Amino acid sequence: MLGPPGAGKGTQATRFAREHHVPKISTGDILREAVQAGTPLGRLARTVIDAGRLVGDEIVIGIVADRIQREDASDGFVLDGFPRTIGQAAALDELIDGRSPLVVVDIEVPEDALVARLSGRRVCGNCGWTAPPGMNVCARCGGPLVVRRDDSPDVVRERLRVYARDTHPLVEFYRRRPSFRSVDGDQAQDAVAADIAAAVASVVGGGR
């Protein structure tokens, strides 16, 4: 699942995975899991992180490779946050060679709408929960809601520029494939979810 910051990738990936009984695989989540579990790749990742460096493609690809080989991913999975580079995308093609088609869904949202979404977003200062519009306190822990520094309009626009430079090339990498679909993310969440389900079903049938 592709899309710029604020497009709703995480929300939609979680929802699709839950409704279709497949795991959602987030590189951030499995990287933290690998570090906590002390796996060989996790220990290597911790060394890189502790040194203040970014975790490179080789480690990320290795962690994803381990995760998608688990039994719960045998019938499919939803990737959130991977791939981020052309190199990761090429590696993914090799990892899933012989499996079901890779369906690539790009969630499209106009920049102005993304800025409005993100700059108005508030999160819990205690647990980090993201609040929907209109809430004054965290529904999880009752903590105060705050605006994150990286959700100011200027910072949001910079994040979108970085996305366009570094990650949007993936859209062009996948666009020519018959399994590529784009959906309108500038609509209600239920409508976006329905469009994503239809997009996947149009490639593999049955929404799986």
Which amino acid, one-letter code, is at 50?
A: D
User: Which of the following is catalytic: 9, 24, 117, 122?
Assistant: 9
121 is annotated as an active-site residue: yes
User: Which of the following is catalytic: 15, 67, 159, 181?
Assistant: 159
Angle, CA 159 vertex, CA 179 and CA 52 arms, to 5°: 100
84 is annotated as an active-site residue: yes
User: Which of the following is catalytic: 32, 53, 99, 121?
Assistant: 121
9 is annotated as an active-site residue: yes
Which amino acid, one-letter code, is at 20?
A: H
User: Which of the following is catalytic: 15, 24, 117, 148?
Assistant: 148
CB 34 within 8 A of CB 70: no
122 is annotated as an active-site residue: no
148 is annotated as an active-site residue: yes
Q: Give catalytic residues, as residue numbers.
A: 9, 84, 121, 148, 159
